[in-house]
Amino acid sequence: MSKFTAAEIRRQVERFLPKVLKPSRYLGSEWNAIKKDWDKTEVHMAFAFPDVYEVGMSHLGTRILYHLVNSYPEFLCERVFAPWVDMEETMREKEIPLYALESFQPLQEFDVVGFTLQYEMSFTNILNMLDLAGIPMRSEERGIDDPWIIAGGPCAFNPEPLVGFIDFFLLGESEEQLPEVLRLIAEQKANPLPRRDFLVRVAQVQGVYVPDFYHVSYKDDGRIESIRVEEGVPAVVEKAIVADLDQAFFPTNPVVPYLEIVHDRMMLEVMRGCSRGCRFCQAGMIYRPVRERSQETLLRQMEELVRSTGYDEVALTSLSSGDYSCIQPVIESILEKHGDDGVGVSLPSLRVDSFDVNLAESVQKTRKSGLTFAPEAGSQRLRDVINKGVTEENLLDAVETAFKKGWSTIKLYFMVGLPTETQEDIDGIVDLAKKVANLGTKMGRRNITVTISTSFFVPKAHTPFQWEPQESKASVDLKQRYLREKLRDRRFKYNYHDVKTSYLEAVFAKGDRRLAPLLEWAVKHGARFDGWGDQFREDIWMDAFKEFGIDPHFYANRVMDYDDILPWEHLGCGVTKQYLVSEHHRALHEAKTTDCRHDECSGCGICQARGVQIILKG
């Protein structure tokens, strides 16, 4: 039990809040925030986003699950985000525990704290938030009065570095799964079972992974020897899937922040999943199958969003919104209905091979901001390896059309360190950037700006490249310096990701549960906000690896064999291992795989294994 009441925390915080950066991060009194009666609800959940408020409030999943849980009269859900370093310092100095925004209740008082795992570099923030809340980091040290600590999101498909801290994980889509879990927690509160018996019950819910029941042994060379599964739980935990998006819960009264957040606008989720099959892309694998919302549903949700928020922009979100079967009619209908009121439409990005200038003009009627394209690789050979499915001709045709229609700012995204990459592929990035810029100059466009951004390839679980090593930091650093030198032109801006953080991301993306003690040590020695360049402390991590005698290259830079037991072998995303092996073979042979929405089935296994039909409603 916390020594502070909610009222005491509120009084303390109100005294020093004007002295911290962006105090409205910590108020919880925004428009559409939901404040329920604590005493009239059975289960109290804190939804925890392990990053700052502006990042967490921009995440669509946060919006969905917050309103989903609160739509049940018996449940209460409040939000909590990682306090920035100045706020944390003050809270620790005054011994104020981490609290939920809506009620100022300390996290320790909740029945369950649910973390979203969006990226590996937030893992330290999870442990730091538990510590700041006065909740023991390790599951084994928590008592009956401590909340259940659960987690879900993309990183739950390899959560092994967090084993020992999280009681159980939710794999897949939570609209039906999470309420079922909360009902079990309500029953556990009313009629408590021993911890183990409760965990056996919750493990029967589709997609719930309880690490306590899976025991890992290792070979002398560090590879996994076996994963032993106890009786009474699934041998492979298969993710939860929402079959019909029109029937799925979607909030049309989202919380409207006081301060500007990263994506400060309405969001409409037009579809889930992607069948393009890019071999580096984890989201493209774990969010299958493709499902669409109907036009009628989207337009109704849009009407309600405009009425409840007052925003003047809506983003049509998905992994590939341009692939939504009726994207143009939806955009036209939104603009026809709401355009005169100043409401605009935005798309997160546009695919080069399906670029439609009319579509681009529709979403940028008021002003022509930059267009963003992601060729990903500098040569056609390497684009075939990663199954990107776009050509140089696609890009130049799209750019030429854009220049003709008045655009002068183009952004190009590439990855460096992709499997089989050569110097010719790096030179291809420079050549492609120059061709784009020269095309604009030739067409008489003034003040051309071509922004080239490169990220460092990170191999991810459940992708065809999960067996691939990450290229060494030194090698990629040389490539980035080379690009920086070659792109010295006033028309170019070159941005690139820090190789040090991408290297650590690879360690945890392919890591196992032996990393858990190292993670805990790093947090206790000051690691937090590792995804923020000004906060990342490489020295802490290098000391941690030495302290535990762990070689980070074993995880990030080791070539893995097909017969190796992977740390996530017992977790299923619906795509079969045989398909991933086949796609890896095809990558090495530079063979493309077609999109199953427009061609024959690629045999990934998601429809057959789960009995889920791809539902197209556009």
- Tell me the pLDDT tens digit for each residue of 167-224: 999 999 999 999 999 999 999 999 999 999 999 999 999 999 999 999 999 999 999 9
Q: Give backbone dihedrals phi and psi of 495, rounded to 5 degrees, phi first.
A: -120, 145
Q: What is the pLDDT of residue 446?
A: 82
**CA angle at residue 549 from 569 to 215, to 5 degrees?**
30
Position 618 pLDDT exceeds 90? no
Lowest mean pLDDT among 117-121, 292-296, 465-469, 595-599: 595-599
Position 611 pLDDT exceeds 60? no
Per-residue pLDDT reduced to its tens digit, 443-486? 888 889 999 999 999 999 999 999 999 999 999 999 999 999 99
Q: What is the pLDDT of residue 583?
A: 98
Q: What is the pLDDT of residue 586?
A: 98
Position 115 pLDDT exceeds 60? yes
Position 616 pLDDT exceeds 70? no
Which residues, other chains included, contact 585 with Cβ-Cβ below 8 Å and sequence gap of 6+? none
What pairs with residue 218 in β-bridges?
A: 224
| Amino acid, single-letter form, for residue 285 | M
> 3-state class of 43 per DSSP?
strand
Q: What is the pLDDT of residue 369?
A: 65
Per-residue pLDDT reduced to its tens digit, 215-255? 999 999 999 999 999 999 999 999 999 999 999 999 999 99
Which percentage of the chain shows pLDDT scores above 90? 86
At 609, the pLDDT band (50, 70, 90 cuts) reads low
Mean pLDDT of 311-329: 90
Mean pLDDT of 574-599: 95
Position 614 pLDDT exceeds 50? no
Q: What is the pLDDT of residue 372?
A: 87
Q: What is the pLDDT of residue 484?
A: 96
Q: DSSP state, 315? A: E
Q: What is the pLDDT of residue 615?
A: 46
At 513, the pLDDT band (50, 70, 90 cuts) reads very high
| CB-CB contact of 391 with 434 (8 Å) | no
**CA dist., res. 270 & res. 298, Å (int):** 7
Per-residue pLDDT reduced to its tens digit, 365-401? 544 567 889 999 999 999 999 999 889 999 999 899 8
> 3-state class of 316 per DSSP?
strand
Mean pLDDT of 134-148: 97
Mean pLDDT of 596-603: 88
At 2, the pLDDT band (50, 70, 90 cuts) reads low
The pTM of this model reads 0.95
Per-residue pLDDT reduced to its tens digit, 249-258? 999 999 999 9
Q: What is the pLDDT of residue 349?
A: 64
Position 360 pLDDT exceeds 90? no
- Tokens 């002068």 correspond to what residue? 408
| CB-CB contact of 350 with 316 (8 Å) | no
> 3-state class of 563 per DSSP?
coil
What does the mean pLDDT of the chain come to?
94
Mean pLDDT of 420-430: 98
